[in-house]
Amino acid sequence: MGRLFRYDSVEVTKKNLLVFIRPTIIRDDEDLAGATAEKYRYIRDQQMERRERGLMFLDDGNLPVLPTWEEQIQQLPEVPADDAGQE
């Protein structure tokens, strides 16, 4: 009976993955913090949008969402400049 519903295929399909890298010049800590915050907020906004739309197999209330950037910064321990490899 199983052979009736079996599907055999020997077709080989070549797929290419393209990765586009856009360099960003970071000149100081302020630029770094701004670029990091921008990317973090973008990812969080995407998560919030997906939560609002909902996903078929997951409960909308259980979809993970990053904390706000400000909450995330408060959770990070402070590292003295000497320990961070700064001179």
Q: How is the chain split into domains, by residue range?
A: 26-53+65-71
Amino acid at 35: A
Q: How many Å apart are CA 55 and CA 63, to the nearest integer?
A: 9
What are all long-range contacts of 49-57, with beta carbons under 8 Å and residues at least 24 apart? none
pLDDT tens-digit profile of 42-77? Answer: 999 998 888 887 766 666 566 778 888 888 888 878
Can you give the pLDDT at residue 81?
A: 65
pLDDT tens-digit profile of 16-25? Answer: 999 999 898 9
Can you give the pLDDT at residue 83?
A: 58
Q: How many CB atoms neighbour CB 45 within 10 A?
A: 12
